[in-house]
Amino acid sequence: MTNYKILFLDIDGTTLTPDDTIEESTKKAVAEVKQKGVEVFLATGRPLHEIAEIAEELSIESFIGYNGAYAIHKGEDIFKTPMNASTVGKFVETANQNNHEFVLYTHEKNIFSNIESDIVEKFIKAFHMRKNDRFSEDVLHQILGITLMNLAENEPALYEKEDTSIHLSQVNVDGLRHCYDVIRDTVNKGFGIEHILNMLDIPKEAAIAFGDGMNDKEMLSTVGEGFAMGNAHPDLFQYAKHKTTKVTDSGIYNGLKSLGLVN
């Protein structure tokens, strides 16, 4: 059996169920693999300043946040890769011209285009976001990630033509399918995992990851054992080595059990 060393877990739709809870089977599985010496990271599109409670519930101290732009290992910063300020500025202009809303993430705050907008209020509520502020141009050099809101199906192309080194990934959360994360081709969850595997001298064959959204495709492709959740975006399955059960049906536990890591 492979000597697995590290586990990467997406949060929404993977670790966290739609009713914002973590299944007991997930808690048990994480605790068991940690006892066996496996390092566990939360790997999320969320800003790291908004996930403390989830991390505490699972006793996890290592993270990849902002879709791969910022990583922390046991409390120590590993890397931080802000977006190009001119690209961020262009995206803000495009959003304003097309009645789209946005949130820009710094390492401390969520910067919203319009906090009073219905879609923004829904987004803030869905992700329990607390450290929120209004947009001002002085943050453009500090942006680690972007989520765009209120886009029609054909409108991601408006942004992708502005910068061919990015693509938009639909948020895989019910009620928020008109929202898209901005993913950089060179800075994403896969990039973050490669960096961490190199730093810790762990071969990809000893790495496991679970995800459900299209922002997880690089992550699942980078590790030796990539699991797509049963509730994953249909297009994600082609990037995963395995398919497990849904987040509401012990998906993480069942996947780890199939590898012989939990009882």
Percent of the chain clearing pLDDT 70 (strictly above): 100
For residues 126 and 30, what is the distance between their CA atoms, to the nearest angstrom?
24
pLDDT at residue 57 greater than cutoff 90: yes
Q: What's the confidence (pLDDT) of residue 1?
A: 59
Percent of the chain clearing pLDDT 90 (strictly above): 94
For residues 151 and 240, what is the distance between their CA atoms, to the nearest angstrom?
27
Q: What's the confidence (pLDDT) of residue 142?
A: 96
DSSP 59-77: T--EEEEGGGTEEEETTEE
CATH fold of 85-184, please? 3.30.1240
The torsion of the CA quartet 44, 47, 52, 54, rounded to 10 degrees, works out to -30
Per the CATH hierarchy, to which homologous superfamily does domain 6-80+187-258 belong? HAD superfamily/HAD-like (3.40.50.1000)
Q: Where are the domains of the chain?
A: 6-80+187-258, 85-184
Domains 6-80+187-258 and 85-184 share a fold: no
pLDDT at residue 116 greater than cutoff 70: yes
- With CA atoms as reference, report the closest residue to 55 among 22, 19, 29: 22
